[in-house]
């Protein structure tokens, strides 16, 4: 009996949740995404915070794009967090070049959350936008994000708005899989969670915060592996509204190696489990009832991973000993693959509005259930021990995984006729060896920007700029096409590409053959003709598939009804105007009092354009949940 219950849960949980995400996202799309952009009557000052750790090779082109956003009133604060390369020199150089760029050089590596603390203290805007150093915002992203904070209808309730990350590097199979994941899994989930009223997590790569809301909830947790997940829950526990804006696009790089992907997803899993262990107290207050569904969903997702692994081991053992027939579970998995592909189709329909090239890479989705489910299960289990044990230190970061995308960028640069401006000498920084390709990209970006490179020679003799439609100028070597991104095509070896294509075609043939047999079997069964059987496609399996479709149809009807009723309840119960009274914008005096920093450091952060911080000035215990609780008890 327990085995049967586990089997039922493992089979039906992904199917039921996939349909929930599909129809929830369609409801969100119909209500929110078909209308035109909101017209801003005011443009509040925005501070963009960009923590950086060993990012010297990509900061020049990223900042070039970030300084050309379609928003009149913002600043960019780059925080170097203990980099071992020349990131500190790069951000200072950028601050000298661009009037809206400021630089903070923190010598020790104290983690992303700590860097955001320093950026918050230095910021002049009430709205803070967090962006990763390898990413850049779409031209109109700030307008879409800011519109939520200034709306007359409950704009003052908004504590955070997360954007829509888009994958730039799509030349490898892992890059394409992550493109499909962000488009068809993450984006659909966020849309549905917004319909249900609570978003589980903002995307740290692109998110806007209200400074008052952050101060109200205690800012980011410096001891959590994922500060974006943690701060989302803290905001919602304080009843601030967290929203999702799919039109605020952000183009980012993703890991292109299995090691880099494992490290990233393990950190995500640890962050999700830390939230479960730290925020179980939501059940103590009925006022936080809207957070309970996403808490249960997080628990169920982890439980599913454990049950899936246990069930797989048991079934393999029973198959070896002859106690079960494994073919039954093969066609069940194929039924789930149909549900998964249906989810992908709906997602591609929605996301193609924002990314025209997403359909071109959609053929790789066939790999997602075959590969990603397996790796995500083992990642979730590997994260358990780290999440349970208390973290007494700050959650620091390591050098990011850049994959092979820089090779592709060099190929593009060669086409622009600027190759002769680059030195061929390999380079070693103070503490880190940089690949020749990475260094050549950084050198060329400097050259295209008119910066001093090599032995102090100014490389500005060539005409490197060209006019844009709006009359401004941009360098071709660092033009990223804000509107639709630039797609990276890697120098993948032909034989590897051939293997990938062949396996993809075989996988699609396998799925198509399965559904041809199933469709003809169901049709023959309906009209009373004999069913043609082949391998696992027996009459019993076809009849059972009919039953599953019938059950799934009933589940979909119930889910649609729940989504509509829940949405109406949220709107009528929590959508009234001025139900709460809010304090004004945070002042510099409040920030100084909250962080209690030395006067010289506080003055420098508020007023200087380039700030060097030799030691971490943030008080010990601030932003570390367990230590804070102990201090309160005293």
Q: Is residue 508 part of a domain?
A: yes
pLDDT in tens, 177-225: 888 888 878 889 999 988 888 888 888 889 999 999 999 888 988 877 7
Q: Is residue 235 part of a domain?
A: no
Helix (H, G, I), strand (E, B) or coil at 55: coil
Q: Is residue 187 part of a domain?
A: no
Q: Please list the helix, strand and coil fractions of the chain in percent, rounded to the nearest 5, in that order.
A: 55, 10, 30
Whole-angstrom distance, CA of residue 130 vs CA of residue 118: 13
Given a contact cutoff of 8 angstroms between Cβ atoms, the answer to whether 134 and 63 are in contact is no
Q: Any alpha helices (H) in 575-624, and if so which ranges?
A: 588-595, 599-607
Report residue 407's pLDDT band, with 50, 70 and 90 as the boundaries.
very low
Other CB atoms within a 10 A radius of the CB of residue 470 amount to: 8
What's the token pair of residue 243? 């929203």
Whole-angstrom distance, CA of residue 111 vs CA of residue 398: 9
Q: Chain-wide mean pLDDT for the chain?
A: 76
Is residue 75 over pLDDT 90?
yes
Helix (H, G, I), strand (E, B) or coil at 244: strand
Which of 306-320, 415-429, 456-470 bottoms out in mean pLDDT, i.e. has the lowest?
456-470
Given a contact cutoff of 8 angstroms between Cβ atoms, the answer to whether 251 and 258 are in contact is no
Is residue 467 over pLDDT 60?
no
Domain hosting 510: range is 501-574
Q: Is residue 567 part of a domain?
A: yes
pLDDT in tens, 512-530: 877 777 787 778 877 878 7
What is the pTM (predicted TM-score) of this model? Answer: 0.78
Angle, nearest 10°, between helix axes 539-574 and 2-28?
50
pLDDT in tens, 425-451: 333 333 334 343 343 334 333 433 334
Given a contact cutoff of 8 angstroms between Cβ atoms, the answer to whether 358 and 251 are in contact is no
Q: Any alpha helices (H) in 201-326, and if so which ranges?
A: 211-217, 227-237, 258-278, 292-320
Given a contact cutoff of 8 angstroms between Cβ atoms, the answer to whether 77 and 49 are in contact is yes
Q: Is residue 569 part of a domain?
A: yes
Whole-angstrom distance, CA of residue 170 vs CA of residue 227: 27
Given a contact cutoff of 8 angstroms between Cβ atoms, the answer to whether 58 and 441 are in contact is yes
pLDDT score, position 127? 93
Give me the residue label for tokens 């493992």. Answer: 10
Whole-angstrom distance, CA of residue 588 vs CA of residue 594: 10
pLDDT score, position 381? 76
Q: Is residue 228 part of a domain?
A: no
Helix (H, G, I), strand (E, B) or coil at 610: strand
Q: Is residue 540 part of a domain?
A: yes
Whole-angstrom distance, CA of residue 405 vs CA of residue 403: 6
pLDDT in tens, 558-576: 999 988 888 887 777 766 5
pLDDT in tens, 595-625: 888 888 888 888 889 888 888 888 776 655 5
Length of the chain: 634
Q: Is residue 596 part of a domain?
A: no
Residues 6+ apart with CB under 8 A from 290: 196, 197, 198, 570
Task: Tally the domains of the chain.
Answer: 1
Given a contact cutoff of 8 angstroms between Cβ atoms, the answer to whether 178 and 264 are in contact is no
């Amino acid at each position: 009996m327990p085995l049967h219950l586990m089997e039922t849960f493992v089979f039906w949980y992904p199917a039921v949740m996939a349909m929930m995400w599909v129809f929830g996202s369609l409801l969100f799309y119909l209500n929110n995404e078909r209308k035109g952009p909101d017209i801003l009557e005011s443009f509040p000052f925005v501070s963009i915070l960009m923590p950086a750790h060993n990012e010297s090779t990509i900061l020049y082109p990223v900042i070039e794009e970030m300084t050309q956003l379609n928003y009149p009133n913002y600043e960019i604060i780059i925080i170097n967090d203990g980099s071992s390369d020349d990131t500190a020199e790069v951000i200072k150089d950028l601050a000298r070049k661009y009037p809206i760029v400021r630089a903070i050089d923190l010598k020790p590596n104290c983690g992303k959350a700590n860097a955001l603390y320093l950026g918050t203290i230095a910021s002049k805007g009430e709205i803070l936008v967090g962006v990763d150093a390898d990413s850049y915002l779409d031209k109109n992203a700030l307008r879409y994000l800011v519109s939520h904070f200034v709306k007359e209808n409950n704009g003052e309730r908004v504590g955070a708005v997360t954007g829509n990350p888009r994958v730039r590097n799509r030349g490898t199979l892992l890059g394409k899989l992550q493109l499909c994941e962000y488009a068809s899994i993450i984006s659909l989930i966020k849309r549905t969670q917004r319909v249900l009223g609570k978003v589980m997590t903002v995307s740290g790569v692109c998110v806007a915060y209200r400074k008052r809301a952050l101060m109200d909830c205690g800012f980011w947790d410096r001891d959590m592996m994922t500060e974006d997940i943690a701060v989302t829950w803290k905001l919602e526990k304080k009843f601030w509204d967290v929203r999702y804006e799919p039109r605020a696009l952000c183009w980012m790089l993703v890991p292109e190696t299995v090691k880099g992907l494992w490290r990233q997803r393990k950190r995500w899993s640890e962050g999700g489990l830390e939230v479960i262990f730290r925020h179980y107290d939501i059940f103590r207050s009925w006022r936080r009832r809207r957070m309970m569904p996403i808490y249960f969903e997080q628990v169920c997702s982890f439980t599913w991973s454990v049950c899936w692994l246990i069930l797989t081991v048991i079934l393999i053992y029973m198959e070896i000993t002859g106690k079960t027939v494994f073919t039954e579970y093969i066609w069940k998995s194929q039924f789930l693959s149909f549900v998964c592909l249906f989810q992908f189709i709906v997602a591609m329909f929605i996301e193609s509005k924002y990314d025209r090239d997403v359909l071109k890479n959609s053929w790789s989705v066939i790999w997602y259930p075959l590969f990603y489910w397996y790796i995500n299960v083992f990642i979730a289990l590997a994260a358990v021990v780290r999440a349970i044990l208390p973290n007494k230190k700050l959650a620091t970061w390591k050098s990011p995984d850049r994959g092979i995308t820089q090779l592709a960028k060099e190929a593009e640069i060669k086409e622009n006729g600027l190759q002769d401006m680059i030195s061929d000498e390999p380079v070693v920084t103070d503490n880190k060896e940089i690949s020749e390709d990475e260094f050549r990209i950084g050198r060329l970006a400097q050259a295209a920007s008119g910066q001093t490179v090599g032995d102090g020679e100014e490389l500005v003799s060539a005409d490197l700029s060209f006019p844009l439609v709006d009359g401004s100028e941009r360098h071709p070597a660092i033009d990223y096409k804000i509107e639709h991104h630039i797609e990276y095509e890697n120098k993948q070896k032909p034989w590897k590409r051939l293997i990938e294509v062949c396996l993809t075609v075989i996988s699609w043939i396998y799925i198509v053959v399965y559904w041809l047999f199933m469709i003809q079997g169901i049709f023959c069964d309906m009209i009373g003709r004999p069913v043609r059987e082949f391998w696992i496609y027996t009459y019993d399996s076809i009849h059972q598939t009919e039953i599953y479709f019938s059950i799934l149809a009933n589940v979909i009807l119930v889910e649609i009804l729940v989504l509509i009723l829940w949405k109406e309840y949220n709107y009528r119960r929590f959508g009234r105007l001025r139900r709460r009274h809010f304090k004004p914008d945070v002042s510099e005096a409040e920030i100084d009092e909250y962080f209690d920093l030395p006067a010289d450091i506080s003055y420098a952060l508020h007023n200087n354009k380039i700030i060097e911080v030799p030691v971490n000035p943030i008080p010990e215990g601030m932003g570390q949940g367990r230590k804070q609780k102990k201090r309160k008890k005293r």
